[in-house]
Amino acid sequence: MWWQTQIQIQAKSRGVHLITDELLSQLPVIEKIEIGLLHIFIKHTSASLAINENADPTVRQDVQTFLDTIAPEDPALYEHHDEGPDDMPAHLKSILTGSEITLPVTKGILALGTWQGVYMCEHRDRASSRTLVLTVQGQELS
């Protein structure tokens, strides 16, 4: 079975956001999968996806601090300024963290580790909602 849809993730402030529940609420088809894969692709160049700690929010704060350190908002460092001083750093952060992830699906649920969740990393100060393409491939429950 193959299934694909696009969903919207509500606009978020700059930062690293746990979106596992928001994602799953828009993905009822996953409950029908015995074994398979969920591929998630974000259709933006200034936001990204990752898998990491789902319990302690200080991890997300530390990830944001790290990203801000390696791609600082300093107009003197960049030539590209089309959409403001956070634009080029946002593109760099997106390259570093990635625009897609693939997750295993087992018996109708994401086979994440106990402390894992899906992150959307918003790299802009004033972003709109973000579009994700979700593709499920798998064998249906019998």
Question: What pLDDT is stored for residue 34 in this prediction?
Answer: 98
Identity of the residue numbered 23: L
Question: What pLDDT is stored for residue 123 in this prediction?
Answer: 97
Helix or strand (DSSP H, E) at 131: strand 130-140
The tokens for 78 are 């960049």
- HSE-CB at 60 with a 13 A cutoff on CA atoms is 23
Task: Look at the chain and count its residues.
Answer: 142
pTM equals 0.95
Q: What is the pLDDT along the chain (142 residues), one digit of tens a residue?
A: 999 999 999 999 999 999 999 999 999 999 999 999 999 999 999 999 999 999 999 999 999 999 999 999 999 999 998 899 999 999 999 999 999 999 999 999 999 999 999 999 999 998 999 999 999 999 999 8
Q: What is the CA radius of gyration of the chain?
A: 16
**CA quadruple 73, 78, 83, 87: dihedral, nearest 10:** -50
The tokens for 30 are 């996953």
- HSE-CB at 91 with a 13 A cutoff on CA atoms is 10
Question: What pLDDT is stored for residue 142 in this prediction?
Answer: 85
Q: What is the domain range of residue 79?
A: 2-140
- DSSP states along 1-52: -EEEEEEEEPP--SEEEE-HHHHHHT-GGGGGEEEEEEEEEE--SSEEEEEE
Tally of domains within the chain: 1
The tokens for 105 are 């699906």
Domain of 43: which CATH number? Answer: 2.60.120.460
